[in-house]
Chains A and B, each alone.
Chain A
Amino acid sequence: MKLLDCPVIGARPISEFDYMGEVRVPPFEADEAAWSDYVFNRNGAPGVLREWWYHRPSGRWYVLMRDTLTDRVVGHVDLAEVRYELPS
């Protein structure tokens, strides 16, 4: 069974997680070009990405730093760090 080595809760079967992609911040004021870049384009090359993982059994969200070439989790990001304010 393939495991995801989560630095917070330890190694768990990857089937317990939902993968939600790279952590990104939407541009709140953007022209069409900047908006389409945000909506569609991705950092597709191999490297360490900060990604959302949702652990279904515990109902918790994690932001993990994972090397997409080796599939190793190299760190964990505190949720406060990826927080952003919505424009009022």
Chain B
Amino acid sequence: MPWRLLKHGFKSSHDEPRFFPETKPLKNHYDVVIIGGGGHGMACAYYLAKEHGITNVAVLEQGYIGGGNTGRNTTIVRSNYLTPEGVKFYDTSVKLFEDLADDFDLNIFYSTRGHFTLAHTDSALRTMRWRAEVNKQLGVASEVVDRQQIASEVPYMDLECGGQSPVMGALYHAPGAVARHDAVAWGYARGAYNRGVEIHQKTRVTAIRTQSGRVCGVDTNRGSISCHQVVSMVAGSTPRITEMVGIRTPIEIFPLQACVTEPVKPFMDTIVVSGSLHVYVSQSSRGELVMGASVDPAVLHSTRSSFDFTEGLADKMLDLFPFVSRLKVMRQWAGMSDITPDFAPIMGKTPLQGFYLDAGWGTWGFKATPVSGKTLAWTLANDRNHELIEPFRLSRFADFDLVGEKGAASVGH
């Protein structure tokens, strides 16, 4: 490395290949326009090009690649959900994640840690038994463990929680993992770009044009494009897009906050989640504790973070891990979560021909990055919903056919 650095020092410009291309002018027409250049949008573009040979695709991103919720989540990947529909879907995602680094030839720091969801009450333990049974039925490693087993796997945790709400047991999910979120988005983006997809950053969609009941193009701050298919993969900005085409959805936006501490020596090799205490924590490969809580109390379209959040989170963290009182919080941030009433996503076809949704990702979007890209690409190529996402269709609300995932989606909702 020093030699390489020295060599570059003597040259006026260095020849490190750009990860992403310079911005080109927009073309007049694309077959598919993907709104949103986060993990989901890039994954969709990647699978469209790789598996369906559809390469006349533009990904339009109002900010920069992976700068939205892709770069703001706490990177947990797991599949121990509550409904069979959810478990099948997220398990496909976990399996795709495990091979991503090879597919991309890029280190995504995928690290299988094991995932403990703590139960502090009888009712929480009951939900966990339910989840474990559903999971096992579908071949997902998931079991309820007792206090002794938790104590031996997570010895640095105070199982009494300072006497407030003792841990009674936990749902243990061995495949639970963390990954480097930016690298996932970049890997998909590079793979898509190398196969001919155009990526346009700082390009904001201002309107979606329709003609006789189907999509015919989009207007952006850089000009207009004609296209046959538009897919909205914008998470927290979904209501702004659906408002353009007059589609009503149950999505409401709540800020979700997270923070990291200063880096310390590795001591935590598992992911610990407590629904009752509204906290989830893992240690990153750099040594920082990555922590998150439940969403903010009221609807808000903003990514400002608040002191209330760190104060509340620290209070709960100290119940579980008293020794972290000496750690300083380094950074905190917020993302806009698009929450649905049943805590499952909204995916696939909509009443408007040629307009597709990948939304309702609330607090569970990162772990679904590969599978949502893959299934939406299939849906676009075949113009019908992939069987894995059929339960998550928008029309499930009108049909009163919800996918109740509240017991497993995240914490404290």
Which single residue of chain A is at the shortest CB-CB distance from B241? A45
Which single residue of chain A is at the shortest CB-CB distance from B398? A36
Given A1-B307, A2-B307, A69-B302, A41-B249 contact (CB < 8 Å): yes
Q: Is B284 interfacial (CB 8 A cutoff)?
A: no
Query: Are B302 and A44 in contact (CB-based, < 8 A)?
Result: no
Given A33-B398, A36-B397, A44-B249 contact (CB < 8 Å): yes
**Contacts of B208-260 to chain A: CB distance below 8 A:** 238-240, 242-243, 248-253
Interface 9-residue window, one of B123-131, B195-203, B292-300, B382-390: B292-300
Instruction: Give Cα distance in the complex from A43 to B336, angstroms.
Output: 16
Instruction: Give Cα distance in the complex from A44 to B346, angstroms.
Output: 14
Hey, what's the 0/1 contact readout for A1-28 against B, CB within 8 Å counting as 1?
1100000000000110111010000000
Instruction: Give Cα distance in the complex from A40 to B149, angstroms.
Output: 42
Q: Is B308 interfacial (CB 8 A cutoff)?
A: yes
Residues of chain A within 8 A (CB-CB) of B239 are 44-46
Interface size on B, residues (CB 8 A): 26
Q: Is B63 interfacial (CB 8 A cutoff)?
A: no
User: What is the predominant secondary structure among interface residues of chain B facing chain A?
Assistant: loop
Q: Is B306 interfacial (CB 8 A cutoff)?
A: yes
Q: Is A49 interfacial (CB 8 A cutoff)?
A: yes
Hey, what's the 0/1 contact readout for A62-88 against B, CB within 8 Å counting as 1?
000010111100000000000000000
Query: Are A14 and B308 in contact (CB-based, < 8 A)?
Result: yes
Query: Are A2 and B306 in contact (CB-based, < 8 A)?
Result: yes
Query: Are B397 and A40 in contact (CB-based, < 8 A)?
Result: yes
- Give, as a whole number of angstroms, the nearest-CB distance from A76 to chain B: 16
Query: Are B301 and A46 in contact (CB-based, < 8 A)?
Result: yes
- Give, as a whole number of angstroms, the nearest-CB distance from B247 to chain A: 10
Residues of chain B within 8 A (CB-CB) of A1 are 307-308
Residues of chain B within 8 A (CB-CB) of A39 are 397
Which single residue of chain A is at the shortest CB-CB distance from B397? A40
Which single residue of chain B is at the shortest CB-CB distance from A22? B299
Residues of chain B within 8 A (CB-CB) of A49 are 299
Residues of chain B within 8 A (CB-CB) of A15 are 308
Query: Are B400 and A44 in contact (CB-based, < 8 A)?
Result: no
- Give, as a whole number of angstroms, the nearest-CB distance from A66 to chain B: 8
Which single residue of chain A is at the shortest CB-CB distance from B307? A1
Q: Is B322 interfacial (CB 8 A cutoff)?
A: no
Question: Of B250, B308, B338, which contacts A40 at CB under 8 A?
Answer: B250
Residues of chain B within 8 A (CB-CB) of A60 are none
Which single residue of chain A is at the shortest CB-CB distance from B238? A44
Query: Are A14 and B307 in contact (CB-based, < 8 A)?
Result: no
- Give, as a whole number of angstroms, the nearest-CB distance from B235 to chain A: 12
Q: Is B341 interfacial (CB 8 A cutoff)?
A: yes
Instruction: Give Cα distance in the complex from A15 to B298, angstroms.
Output: 11
Question: Of B251, B297, B306, B308, which contacts A44 at CB under 8 A?
Answer: B251
- Give, as a whole number of angstroms, the nearest-CB distance from A49 to chain B: 7
Query: Are A2 and B302 in contact (CB-based, < 8 A)?
Result: no
Instruction: Give Cα distance in the complex from A42 to B299, angstroms.
Output: 11
Given A36-B398, A36-B400, A41-B301 contact (CB < 8 Å): no
Q: A2-B308, A41-B249, A68-B300 are in contact. List 7 more A-B contacts (CB 8 A).
A: A19-B297, A36-B397, A41-B250, A44-B242, A45-B243, A66-B298, A69-B302
Q: Could you list 21 examples of A-B contacts with CB < 8 Å?
A: A1-B307, A14-B298, A15-B308, A32-B398, A36-B398, A37-B398, A40-B341, A40-B397, A41-B249, A41-B250, A42-B250, A44-B242, A44-B250, A44-B251, A46-B239, A49-B299, A51-B299, A68-B253, A68-B299, A69-B302, A70-B302
Which residues of A are interface residues toward B (Cβ below 8 A)? 1-2, 14-15, 17-19, 21, 32-33, 36-37, 39-42, 44-46, 49, 51, 66, 68-71
